Amino acid sequence: MSRLDINKTYKLYIGGKFPRTESGRYYTINNSSGNLIANMCLASRKDFRNAVVIARKAQNSWANATALNKGQILYRIAEILEGRKEQFILELITQGEARKVAQKEVETAIDRLVYYAGWSDKYQQLFSAVNPVSSSHFNFSNLEPVGVVSIIAPEEQSLLGLVSVIAPAIVGGNTVVVLASESKPLTSISFAEVLNSSDVPGGVVNILTGNKAELVSHMASHMDVNAIVYCGKDENELKEISELASNNVKRTIFYKKSNWENKLCESPYFIEKTQEVKTTWHPTEI
């Protein structure tokens, strides 16, 4: 008798744990010939709210981790991902990519993490300023994370896209709640396993799988979320997000590009988008 495969149950990733969805619901992922690939959690509004509470709790200490430490952790993610490269290539193939394309995507994702790891202790120097004010004060401006960021990850390039939006947000000290690609979610929970073994503190990155149409309004309207990143081109969703974001003057960041391999998709300006500028004054007269 041949050996029976152990099918993996895909779950959510919240607060460094892998809970099932509160909703008790799931959705199915099929390959191009219509065969079942996996059942995925259909995250609910409650799951999202739980994730925000945990992301808020984790934010302060993550922001206060040293730049060196954050960089090391991002590099560590890249290391672990490299070690599991083959698994991710296979998952992308299962989701319908050609091997060559899948390999390129995983390698670019690894390189992108290394890229942002290197920025962790540099972007501050690039975007900060000492301001030559005309009064007798010492005055400087530096960057601080906006706080908790909700992210609707790109539908295509489900691994590279996910990495490309998470890395610049967390390297800048934000914590994130991400909704993974709805049609290609396999790699997102596998990536959560990578994060979980990479010294990323629990709660810094939270990954949900589920239905975009169902969750997008909650991700845009939550009053304890400081910014929302939306990847996609759906004009109705863009409008809805902008309107709901006005409830608490949430920052909105829209990426309409679809090819995340492009060199323009890695830049310190991506880090800057989820940062605030703080200006500090002190008199210099005795």
Partner 1 sequence: MAKKNNNIFKASWTYDEAPESTDHIQIKKQYELYIDGEFTKPVKNNYFDTINPSNGKKIASIAEASSEDVDKAVKAARKAFKGWAALTGKERGKYIFRIARLIQERAREFAVIESLDGGKPIRESRDIDIPLAANHFFYYAGWADKLEYAFPNRNPKPLGVVGQIIPWNFPLLMAAWKLAPALATGNTVVLKPAETTSLTALKLAEIIHESGIPKGVVNIVTGAGETGASIVNNPDVNKIAFTGSTGVGKYIQKATAGTNKKLTLELGGKGANIIFEDAAIDQAVEGIVNAIFFNQGHVCCAGSRLFVQESVADLVIEKLKRRMETLIVGDPLDKNTDIGAINSKKQLQTIENYIKIGINEGGEIYQPTCEFPKQGNWCAPTLFLNVSQSHRIVQEEIFGPVLAVQTFRTIDEVIEKANNTPYGLSAGVWTEKGSKIFHLTQKLNAGVVWGNTFNKFDATSPFGGYKESGFGREGGLHGLKPYVKFE
By CB under 8 A, is residue 132 in contact with partner 1? Answer: yes
By CB under 8 A, is residue 217 in contact with partner 1? Answer: no
The nearer residue to partner 1, 133 or 213, going by C-beta atoms, is 133
Contact with partner 1 (CB under 8 A): which of 9, 31, 66, 141? 141
- The rounded distance, in Å, linking the Cα atoms of 111 and 75 is 10
Burial (Cβ within 10 Å: 0-12, 13-18, ≥19) of residue 8:
exposed
By CB under 8 A, is residue 269 in contact with partner 1? Answer: yes
| Structure-token match 């960057």, residue found | 143
- The rounded distance, in Å, linking the Cα atoms of 229 and 215 is 14
Residue 29 phi/psi, 5° resolution? -110, 125
By CB under 8 A, is residue 59 in contact with partner 1? Answer: no
By CB under 8 A, is residue 262 in contact with partner 1? Answer: no
Task: Report the site for partner 1 in 145-164 (rule: CB under 8 A).
Answer: 146
By CB under 8 A, is residue 281 in contact with partner 1? Answer: yes
The two beta strands, 26-30 and 36-41, are: antiparallel
**Torsion region of 232: left, alpha or beta (phi above 0 gives left; psi -120 to 50 gives alpha):** left
Size of the site for partner 1 (CB under 8 A): 35
Contact with partner 1 (CB under 8 A): which of 211, 251, 258, 261? 251
Contact with partner 1 (CB under 8 A): which of 61, 131, 183, 197? 131
In the shown chain, the binding pattern of residues 168 to 207 toward partner 1, with x for contact by CB under 8 A and - for none, equals ----------------------------------------
Q: Per the structure block, which two tokens stand in for 278?
A: 């703080």
List all residues 6 or more positions away from 172 whose beta carbon is below 8 Å from its beta carbon. Answer: 123, 143, 145, 271, 272, 274, 275
- The rounded distance, in Å, linking the Cα atoms of 272 and 114 is 18
By CB under 8 A, is residue 280 in contact with partner 1? Answer: yes
CA distances from 103 to 61, 73, 106, 148 (A): 35, 23, 5, 32
Contact with partner 1 (CB under 8 A): which of 28, 30, 36, 276? 276
| Structure-token match 């939270």, residue found | 206
- Residue 266, classed as helix, strand or coil, is coil
The nearer residue to partner 1, 32 or 136, going by C-beta atoms, is 136
Measured in whole angstroms, the distance separating CA 216 from the mean position of its chain's CA atoms is 15
Nearest distance in Å: CB 274, partner 1: 11
The nearer residue to partner 1, 181 or 221, going by C-beta atoms, is 221
By CB under 8 A, is residue 133 in contact with partner 1? Answer: yes
Pick the piece of the chain touching partner 1 (CB under 8 A) from 38-46, 71-79, 123-131, 192-200: 123-131
For partner 1, the binding residues (CB under 8 A) are 126, 129, 131-135, 137, 139, 141, 146, 226, 235, 238-243, 245-249, 251, 267, 269, 276-283
